[in-house]
Amino acid sequence: MSSLNLDDFTDLIERPDGGVRRDAEARRERQIVPPGSLGRLDDLGEWLAAAQSAVPVRPIERPRVVLFAGDHGVAELGVSARPAGGAGQLVREVLEGGRPVSVLARRLGVPVRIVDMALDCEPEALPEDVVRHRVRRGSGRIDVEDALTLQEAEAAFRAGVAVADEEADSGTDLVVLGDVSVGGTTAAGVLVAALCGVDASVVTGRGGLAIDDLAWMRKCAAIRDALRRARPVLGDQLQLLATVGGADLAAMTGFLLQSAVRKMPVVLDGVVTAACALVGQRIAFRAPDWWLAAHDSGEPGQAKALDRMALEPLLTQGVTVGEGAGGLLALPLVQAAAALAAELPEKAKESEEPETSEASEVSDAAEGSEVPTEQ
């Protein structure tokens, strides 16, 4: 039995401040640009004000990319265009600055943090600050076995909570959340299908490198088989993550929920983060109010999850590479919304008209003077 009580998050998570949001809307009414003329930027600015409990909204000055990494045993089935166990190499490339997220982060001046939860490589191959939260080496093959033991799932979930606390305590004011994994989109597809009550074919996408038709069929079959194993444990979200998730997905779920507890907004990247967010919604229904969907990657599982949480993507660029790259593309939009909400001047108040006009003053003067009469 797990000692973790997930029900606590329902009590701990509050919605962003509705009163502050109304104040932000009222301020927007007074600004020189008509309300609605900035489209979704208006909504974004008001959402940020509520999340920060501040009017005017504060600028996003300390954003951070947080990537949870892991290898998934289901990749052995050829469901990914990358080799099974290849996530460690991707992590090294991110650290060396050669991945899309690295380029975008440099350009935007945003630090990137990678958290190894279950990479299939020797821990000595990566820096200590990357591997210190690792739960195990690789996750199990979810079509035939559990991804994790329940104890490992709890450890991974608690690690995600700890990382969220570290970020909040360090002053991070917004997180772009992503994953670095091989086989992660397959596990995400199982979670989405299980929680939305749909068949495997509805959520099976092509992944980051656009797998061919044969690989897609293998992936669909793997999700179908794992889905059979997921349905009996749908009522226990931690057991669900242990059965068909993975250490990286369990950690991301814990991170998302604790970020909501700490009132730290999170931008979701792709299908893997969307699947974890969907699990988080099952645990604490108010939690999605603290999250933004960065972009539409074209993955059907992501679309299904976001629709269930009523989250509308900010961008549609078809970015499937993962690793937080799509999330970073949305960051300037969020920062622009904050700047416009805070810095657009308000309309000048109309000066009150004097009670008497110049003409009436002349008339009054004439009435007060003596008019000579003919003698």
Place 211 in a pLDDT band, splitting at 50, 70 and 90: confident
Is there a cis peptide before residue 123, judged by omega within 30 degrees of 0?
no
Asked if pLDDT for residue 363 goes beyond 90, the answer is no
Question: What is the rounded CA–CA span in Å between residue 67 and residue 48?
Answer: 23
* Cα separation values, 161 from 252, 262, 272, 365, Å: 9, 10, 18, 79
Domains of the chain: which residue ranges? Answer: 8-343
Look at residue 350 in the predicted model and tell me its pLDDT: 58
Question: What is the rounded CA–CA span in Å between residue 206 and residue 160?
Answer: 27
Strands (E) across 75-196 are located at 112-118, 174-182
> Higher-confidence residue: 346 or 140?
140
Question: What is the rounded CA–CA span in Å between residue 242 and residue 231?
Answer: 13
H-assigned helices in 109-183: 128-131, 150-169
Query: 72-81: string of b/e by CB count within 10 Å (b at 16+)?
Result: bbbbbbebbe
- Rounded to 5 degrees, φ, ψ at 328 are -70, -30
Nearest to 192 by CA among 276, 255, 261: 276
Which tokens hold the place of 211?
Answer: 């797998």
Sheet strands side by side (includes 266-268): 112-118, 63-71, 174-182, 266-268, 291-293
What value does the mean pLDDT take over residues 217-245?
96
Question: What is the rounded CA–CA span in Å between residue 193 and residue 254?
Answer: 20
| DSSP-derived secondary structure for 10-60 | HHH-----HHHHHHHHHHHHHBSSPTTTTTHHHHHHHHHHHHHT-SSPPP-
Residue matched to tokens 């020189």: 32
* Cα separation values, 317 from 7, 47, 270, 298, Å: 37, 23, 12, 9
Question: What is the rounded CA–CA span in Å between residue 331 and residue 334?
Answer: 5
Asked if pLDDT for residue 54 goes beyond 50, the answer is yes
**Could you report the per-residue pLDDT of 259-305, keeping only the tens digit for each?**
999 999 999 999 999 999 999 999 999 999 999 999 998 899 999 99
Asked if pLDDT for residue 247 goes beyond 70, the answer is yes
Question: What is the rounded CA–CA span in Å between residue 74 and residue 143?
Answer: 7
Cα atoms in the Cβ-side hemisphere of radius 13 Å centred on 364:
6
CATH assignment of 8-343? Answer: 3.40.50.10210
Helix/strand/coil percentages in the chain, nearest 5: 55, 10, 35
Angle (nearest 5°) at CA 193 between 245 and 176? 60
Helices 300-309 & 271-283 angle (0-180, nearest 10):
30
Catalytic residue list: 323
Classify the phi-psi angles of 182: left when phi > 0, otherwise alpha if psi is within -120 to 50, otherwise beta.
beta
**Could you report the per-residue pLDDT of 21-49, keeping only the tens digit for each?**
999 999 999 999 888 889 999 999 999 99
Question: Which long-range CB contacts under 8 A does 29-34 form with residues at least 24 apart?
Answer: 30/346, 30/347, 31/344, 31/345, 31/346, 31/347, 32/344, 32/345, 32/346, 32/347, 33/344
Place 371 in a pLDDT band, splitting at 50, 70 and 90: very low
Its sign, for the CA torsion 142, 144, 150, 152, is negative
Which tokens hold the place of 77?
Answer: 């089935």
**Could you report the per-residue pLDDT of 141-168, keeping only the tens digit for each?**
999 999 999 999 999 999 999 999 999 9
Look at residue 1 in the predicted model and tell me its pLDDT: 55
* Cα separation values, 236 from 170, 195, 253, 289, Å: 32, 11, 14, 22
Contact 177, 66 (CB under 8 A): yes
